[in-house]
């Protein structure tokens, strides 16, 4: 679609198109019928083959994944080769379908032959869930900051989705809900740093807690200083927007039998802006650093999901929130700071700030929360972007049980992780001359591992812990199957799935 400004025809790119305000499940009499069609036999099911125009519409249709063709009140959606069907196919298909529905102005859709998208009878729920997640994620765009210069068609008020298979439809409802949590993370991530300050993050968490029956409390700057959180306070003190540690606790009345005595702690790096500090980011390397809070945003999104799904498990989220700025009160390279657990750190680079704020949160969690597992998520290193790009997150975990859960969750959600090593020699590599450890080795060797090795000094031995470096996957400037350019909400589904596996 296009509209005119002066003489030029301005074509809106597809990602600027408004889509649906609300997506819900349920039947509707006016529903358009969507039919998955495999490329092995790219033909309409017999019951539809004689519809007027069918032969014409199907002439060029190949059934490739996500390809769509509309015929009256029907929309055919390509599903690729039947033998190649995976959950990834189902996600692509869901994402393409919702865009196509928006294009034709549909307000309701019913998926026929939904069970054909599952790899077997007992997999219909998970196929439905993947489908629902994709629909919700593909539907999202950020328009909260549209001003008077943006002329768009209004969003379509609602889309209702249904499927002809009960299990699939139930999974779809769960997927739509989890997708909404992913989008909540993206909304926070996309909020600009002049609005999204540490206090703003705290306010968002308070509102979330109120809406979903969680407990929220905030350790403000002064209290953090008093508690000896030398990392969080050093990183955040140069900003007019002072740092804080936000706690969000989901403690449901009913705890499942396997979850009794378990306490999962999620920690998210929440740097609302990373200028690098005095080790300033140069050559516009700062641009996009509003996304340095994506670890925290993913944790908030996961808490949104965990609470709205009422997972029967005790989960606490910690968000060390700070803005890494330059001022006459900022911390500097060569400072030596004492962290919450008494470890002293010689600051070699103020741009390695994420590990400093995470360290205090990890140490505080170990001392105060009796965690039985900790997972932290952080946009920690450029090195992990170089190594793994946007294909997967890098992760570290030396506990077999937790590693198994993380990898299962990654397989189930499609949020891929790749393990990197964390050995005693990596920890030794972080030793300092005039303090216990340095925050970054001046040699850039093994960069993502340095971050993990640093953090390892702040987790008590015996507490299963995983560190997930999402610097590459948390945002993208190019569109993907599921996401428009911008924040991806990566990690919400992974963390939620990890929690599900413990409940
Ligand atoms: N937030 C950055 C890491 C980052 C880089 C995230 C690119 C997303 C995209 C982190 O705080 C950082 O600055 N890391 C430095 C550390 C180094 C200077 C010691 C890095 O990885 O280059
Ligand atoms: Mn940095
Ligand atoms: Zn950072």
Same domain, 332 and 435: yes
Structure tokens at 264: 């999962």
Cα separation values, 20 from 15, 92, 230, 235, 414, Å: 13, 18, 45, 40, 24
- Of 359, 380, 420, best ligand 1 pocket probe by most atoms within 8 Å of the beta carbon: 380
Q: Which atom of ligand 1 is nearest to the CA of 383?
A: 21
Beta strands in 288-331 (DSSP E): 315-324
294 & 170 share domain: no
Judge contact between 291 and 189, C-beta under 8 A. Answer: yes
385 C-beta closer than 6 A to ligand 1 = yes
Shared domain for 181 and 201, answered yes or no, is no
Clarify whether residues 179 and 210 are in a common domain.
no
Q: Is 473 found in the same domain as 410?
A: yes
Quote the Cα angle for 357-360-361, to 5°. 85
CATH of the domain at 156: 3.40.220.10
Please check whether residues 273 and 353 belong to one and the same domain: yes
Residues 6+ positions from 363 with CB-CB distance below 8 Å: 339, 340, 341, 458, 459
Tally of domains within the chain: 2
Which residues, listed in sequence order, are joined to residue 159 by a DSSP beta bridge? 23
Q: Identify which ligand lies nearest to the alpha carbon of 469.
A: 1
- Residue of 17, 156, 281, 390 with catalytic role: 281
Atom of ligand 1 nearest to the CA of 349: 19
Rg (CA), the chain: 24
- Tell whether 165 and 208 lie within a shared domain: no
Q: Residues 198-241: pLDDT tens digits?
A: 999 999 999 999 999 999 999 999 999 999 999 999 999 999 99
Any atom of ligand 1 within 6 Å of the Cβ of 307: no
CATH number, domain of 330, equals: 3.40.630.10
pLDDT given for residue 17 in this prediction: 65
Residues 162 and 280 in one domain: no
Rounded Cα gap, residues 137 and 115, in angstroms: 22
3-state secondary structure at position 151:
coil
Ligand 1, atom 19, residue with closest C-alpha: 352
- Choice from 382, 384, 471 to test ligand 1 binding pocket (greatest atom count within 8 A of CB): 382
> Is residue 71 domain-shared with residue 129, that is, in the same domain?
yes
User: In the listed set 150, 185, 220, which residue is the last one of a domain according to the structure?
Assistant: 185
Check if 381 has its Cβ closer than 6 Å to any atom of ligand 1.
Answer: yes
Q: State yes or no: is 242 an active-site residue.
A: no
User: What is the 3 state secondary structure string of 16-58?
Assistant: HCCCEEEEEECCCCCCEEEEEECCCCCCCCHHHHCCCCHHHHH
Residues with Cβ within 8 Å of 268's Cβ and at least 6 positions away in sequence, in order, are: 295, 296, 297, 298, 299, 300, 317, 318, 319, 376, 377, 378
Please state the pTM of the whole predicted model.
0.96
478 and 497 within one domain? yes
Instruction: List the residue whose alpha carbon is closest to atom 22 of ligand 1.
Output: 382
CA of 479 to the centre of ligand 3 (A): 23
Ligand 1: atom nearest CA of 291 is 8
Annotation marks residue 355 as catalytic: yes
What are the backbone dihedrals phi and psi of residue 299, each rounded to the nearest 5 degrees, phi first? Answer: -65, -40
> Helix, strand or coil for residue 242?
coil
- Provide the domain limits for residue 106: 2-185
8 Å CB contact between 393 and 473? yes
Last-in-domain residue among 185, 205, 229: 185
Digits of tens for pLDDT over the chain (503 positions)? 333 333 333 444 444 567 899 999 999 999 999 999 999 988 888 888 888 888 888 888 999 999 999 988 999 999 999 999 999 999 999 999 999 999 999 999 999 999 999 999 999 999 999 999 999 999 999 999 988 888 777 788 899 999 999 999 999 999 999 999 999 999 999 999 999 999 999 999 999 999 999 999 999 999 999 999 999 999 999 999 999 999 999 999 999 999 999 999 999 999 999 999 999 999 999 999 999 999 999 999 999 999 999 999 999 999 999 999 999 999 999 999 999 999 999 999 999 999 999 999 999 999 999 999 999 999 999 999 999 999 999 999 999 999 999 999 999 999 999 999 999 999 999 999 999 999 999 998 999 999 999 999 999 999 999 999 999 999 999 999 999 999 999 999 999 999 999 99
* Same domain as 318, residue 232: yes
Of ligand 1's listed atoms, the one at least distance from the Cα of 348 is 19
Q: Select from 152, 185, 218 the last residue of a domain.
A: 185
Report CA(468)–ligand 2 centroid distance (Å): 16
Are 170 and 239 part of one and the same domain?
A: no
Alpha-carbon gap, residue 167 to 132, rounded angstroms: 12
- Residue 261 is encoded by which pair of tokens? 């005595």
- Regarding the beta carbon of 25 and ligand 1, being less than 6 Å apart is answered no
Q: How many angstroms does the Cα of residue 472 sit away from the middle of ligand 3?
A: 12
* Phi, psi angles (nearest 5°) of residue 264: -90, 130
| Rounded to 5°, angle at Cα 304 from 303 and 307 | 80
């Amino acid at each position: 679609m296009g509209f005119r400004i002066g003489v030029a025809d301005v074509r809106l790119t597809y990602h600027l198109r408004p889509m649906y305000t609300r997506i819900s499940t349920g039947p509707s009499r006016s529903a358009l019928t969507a039919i998955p069609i495999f490329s092995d036999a790219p033909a309409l099911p017999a019951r539809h083959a004689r519809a007027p125009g069918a032969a014409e519409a199907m002439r060029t249709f190949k059934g490739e994944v996500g390809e769509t063709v509309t015929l009256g009140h029907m929309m055919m959606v390509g599903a690729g080769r039947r033998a190649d069907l995976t959950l990834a196919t189902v996600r692509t298909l869901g994402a393409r379908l919702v865009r196509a529905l928006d294009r034709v102005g549909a307000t309701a859709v019913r998926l026929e032959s939904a069970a054909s998208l599952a790899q077997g009878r007992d997999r219909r729920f998970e196929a439905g869930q993947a489908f629902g997640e994709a629909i919700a994620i593909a539907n999202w765009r950020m328009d909260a900051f549209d001003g008077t210069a943006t002329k768009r068609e209004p969003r379509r008020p609602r889309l209702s989705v249904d499927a002809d298979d009960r299990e699939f439809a139930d999974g779809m409802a769960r997927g739509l809900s989890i997708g909404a949590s992913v989008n909540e993370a993206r909304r926070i991530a996309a909020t600009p740093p002049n609005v999204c300050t540490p206090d703003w993050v705290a306010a968002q968490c308070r509102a979330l807690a109120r809406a979903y029956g969680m407990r929220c409390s905030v350790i403000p700057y002064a209290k953090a200083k008093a508690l000896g959180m030398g990392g969080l306070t050093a990183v955040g003190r140069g900003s007019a927007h002072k740092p804080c540690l936000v706690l969000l606790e989901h403690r449901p009345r009913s705890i499942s039998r396997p979850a009794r005595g378990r306490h999962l702690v999620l920690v998210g790096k929440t740097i609302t802006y990373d200028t690098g500090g005095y080790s300033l980011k140069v050559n516009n390397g700062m641009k996009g650093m509003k996304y340095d809070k994506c670890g925290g945003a993913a944790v908030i999104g996961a808490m949104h999901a965990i609470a709205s799904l009422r997972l029967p498990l005790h989960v606490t989220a910690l968000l060390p929130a700070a803005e890494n700025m330059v001022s006459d009160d900022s911390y500097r390279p060569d400072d030596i700071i004492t962290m919450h657990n008494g470890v002293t750190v010689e600051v070699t680079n103020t741009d390695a700030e994420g590990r400093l704020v995470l360290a205090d949160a990890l140490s505080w969690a170990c001392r105060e929360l009796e965690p039985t597992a900790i997972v932290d998520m952080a946009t920690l290193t450029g090195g992990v972007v170089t190594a793994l790009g946007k294909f997967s997150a890098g992760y570290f975990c030396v506990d077999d049980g937790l590693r198994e859960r993380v990898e299962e969750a990654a397989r189930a959600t499609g949020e891929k992780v790749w393990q990197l090593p964390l050995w005693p020699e990596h920890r030794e590599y972080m030793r300092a001359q005039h303090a216990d450890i340095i925050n970054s080795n001046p040699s850039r060797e093994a960069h993502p591992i340095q971050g993990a090795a640093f953090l390892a000094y702040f987790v008590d031995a015996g507490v299963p812990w995983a560190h997930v470096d999402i610097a590459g996957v948390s945002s993208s400037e190019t569109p993907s199957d599921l996401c428009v350019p911008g924040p991806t909400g990566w990690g919400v589904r992974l963390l939620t799935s990890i929690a599900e596996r413990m409940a």
